[in-house]
A and B are shown apart, each in its own frame.
Chain A
Amino acid sequence: MEKAMEREVFRADSPRTETITMNMGPQHPSTHGVYRAVLTMDGEEITHIENHVGYLHRGIEKLAETRTFTQFMPYTDRLDYLGAMLNNLGYAQTMEKLMGVEVPERAEYIRIIMAELQRIASHLIFVASYAIDLSSTTGWMYCMRDRERILDLFDMVCGSRLTTNYMRIGGVAEDVPPGFLPELQRLINDLPACFDEYDGLISGNEILQKRSIGVAPMSAETAIAYGVTGPNLRASGVAFDLRKAAPYGIYDRFDFEIPTCANGDTYDRYYIRILEMRQSVRILQQAVDSFPEGPVMAKVPKVIRPPKGDVYHQIEGTKGILGFYVVSDGTSKPYRLHIHSPSFVNLGVFPEIARGGNIQDAVATLASIDIVLGEVDR
C-alpha cells in the first residue's frame, strides 16, 4: 500500500498523466469495415494515430495478371463495392484508351447515367452512415429508402444491385430495358425534395452541427500534399473535379457546377456531398433529355489483345480520383495492373487531421473521410 502511494502518478503536486494506447477496430461499427486505428491518448486528447489496414487484402492486382482483360471486369465491382458502376467505368475507359476504341453514343449516355446514379447512391450511404455515426438513426433510414430506388434501377439494367459488372470494354453489356427511363425520370423528379428533407433532418440538426462544425479542419495545402481528392478536396475549397478539369467520356457536354465549401472541416466534408448530389441530378436530367438511339457496344474482338504499352487513366470516383495503370505486353492478360484507390490515399490524411481531437471527434472525422475498405485493401 505504502509503495503504491509513492508512485509518481498519485502525487498531488505532479499532474502529469501517462499516455495510453487504444485500439479502435478492427471490428468497430465506426470503421465501416475491417480497419484498425491505434490511438495514442493523452487523457481525452489524441496525440498520435497509426493506421492498420490490409484485413481485406485479396491481391486483386496479382489476380488480374492471371485473368484476361475481359475477365477482370467483375473484380472491379469488388474494389469500392458502393461504387461498382464507377469502377467498371474507370477500367473500361482505361482499356479503351489503350486500344483506341470508340464507344457508341448511346453507350456513353448510359454510362453517364449509371455513373451519376452510382455517385448519388454512394453519397447517400455516406450521408446515412455519417448520420448514424453521430447517433442519428433516422437519417440512415431516409437515405436508405432513396438509395433503394437507385439499386432497383441497377437491378433493372443488369440484374444486380451492388456488384453490377455492367460495363464492357467498348460499351455496356445490354441496352436499358423498357420502363427504365420513365422510372429514372420519376426518381429524378423526386430526388431534389429528398435532399431538402436531408437538409432539414440532418444538415440542420443542431446536435450534428455541434459535433462536426470546426472539427478536424483540413487546409487546401494539406489536402493537396496528402494527395486527397474528390469531395474531401473540394470541401477544403479547391474547385477541382476531373469531370470539368479533364473531361472523360462525354462529360464536356453537360452543364453543371463544382460545389466547394470553405472550411474543410468535418461538417463541410459532409455537406459537400449533399451539394454534389444535387449537381448529379442536373447531369442526369440533361442525359435523359438528350438520350440518343443506337447500338450500345462497339466492335471489339472477342479475345482482347491490346497493343504493347502502358496507360494511366483516371476518373472522378465517388471517394476521389480513381486511377488504373495497365501495362500490356501484347497478350490477352495484363502484364501489370495497378489500381490507384482514393480511399487508400485519403485514409493517409486521417492521422494528420484527427490529431489533437478526442475520440468522439475521431469517429466523426473518419466517417467524414468516407472510406470503403474493399477499395483501401484491394
Chain B
Amino acid sequence: MAKEIQPIIEKLVQSFPGQVEAGETAGQVMVAASALLPVMEKAKGELGFNMLADLTAVDYPENFEMVYHLMAIPDATMLKVKVKLDKGSPRVASLVGLWPAADVQERETYDLMGIFFEGHPNLKRILCPEDFQGHPLRKDYILKTRS
C-alpha cells in the first residue's frame, strides 16, 4: 500500500528551501524550473520514486505548467510535481538522463504543446508530421470546423 505522502513532501521542501513548496492540494509540490533536475534526482534516488508515471503540460492564460507524476514501485506511492514555465518561451530541463521513459513523452509534449526540453537528445515532432506548423494543444491553436 502507498506510503504517507505528506512527510515526503515536507522533506523535499526542507531540502530545497525557496525552490520547492507544497502545492494547493495534497500530494503535490511546486518546483522552480531551475531546480527541477536536482529535485527529480532526489525524488528518484533517495525518496524511491523510481518510475516516471506520466508527464504532460497545460496551457494556462498566464503561464505553461509542466505536470509530472512520479510513482514508486512496488508500493504505488504517487507524487505530483508541477513546474510553472514562461509563457513566451517555455523551456525546462529534460529528464531523459534520469528516466529514458521521458524520451517519447517529452517529444510528445514538445510536438503538441511547444515546450522546449533542454538537453533532450532527439527533440523532434513525434505525432504530427515534421513540417506541421504550430502546436495543436495550445489554446491559441483554434480548431477549424468544417462548414
Interface residues of A (CB under 8 A from B): 51, 53-54, 57, 59, 61-63, 66, 224-229, 238-240, 242, 245-246, 309-310, 312, 314, 321, 323, 325, 327, 335-336, 338, 340, 344-345, 347-349, 352, 377-378
The main secondary structure of chain B at its interface with chain A is loop
Q: Could you tell me if A325 and B112 are in contact, using CB atoms closer than 8 angstroms? A: no
Chain B residues 101 to 147 lying within 8 A of chain A, measured CB to CB, are 101, 103-105, 108, 112, 125-129, 136-137, 141, 143
Apart from A61-B137, A325-B54, what are 8 other A-B pairs with CB-CB below 8 Å?
A: A53-B127, A224-B73, A227-B101, A238-B73, A240-B74, A245-B75, A312-B67, A344-B105
Task: Give the A-B pair count, Cβ closer than 8 A.
Answer: 97
Find out whether the CB atom of B54 lies under 8 angstroms from the CB atom of A348: no
Question: Quick check: A338 and B104 within 8 Å, CB to CB?
Answer: no
Asked if B21 is at the interface (CB within 8 A of a chain A CB), the reply is: no
> Do A54 and B143 touch (CB < 8 A)?
no
Shortest Cβ distance from residue B130 to the other chain A in the assembled complex, whole angstroms: 10
Rounded to whole Å, the gap between the CB of B29 and the closest CB of chain A is 14
Query: Given the complex, which residues of A lie within 8 Å of B54, measured CB to CB?
Result: 312, 314, 323, 325, 338, 340
B143 and A225 form a contact (CB under 8 A):
no
- In the bound assembly, the distance between CA atoms of A323 and B69 in angstroms comes to 10
CA distance A245 to B141 in the complex (A): 40
Q: Count of chain B residues with Cβ under 8 Å from any Cβ of A?
A: 36
Among B8-16, B32-40, B45-53, B85-93, the stretch that binds chain A is B45-53
13 pairs across A/B with beta carbons < 8 Å? A57-B128, A59-B136, A224-B73, A226-B99, A226-B101, A227-B105, A246-B1, A312-B80, A336-B58, A344-B104, A344-B108, A345-B104, A348-B104
B80 touches A352 (CB 8 A): no
Q: Say if the beta carbon of B2 comes within 8 Å of chain A.
A: yes
Q: Give A321 to B78 CA distance when docked, in angstroms.
A: 13
Task: Tell me if A's interface is mostly helix, strand, loop or mixed.
Answer: mixed
Instruction: Report yes or no: A245 in contact with B74, Cβ–Cβ below 8 A.
Output: yes
Given the known interface contacts A54-B128, A54-B129, the answer about A336 and B101 at a Cβ–Cβ threshold of 8 Å is no
A66-B143, A240-B74 known; A227+B69 contact, CB < 8 A: no
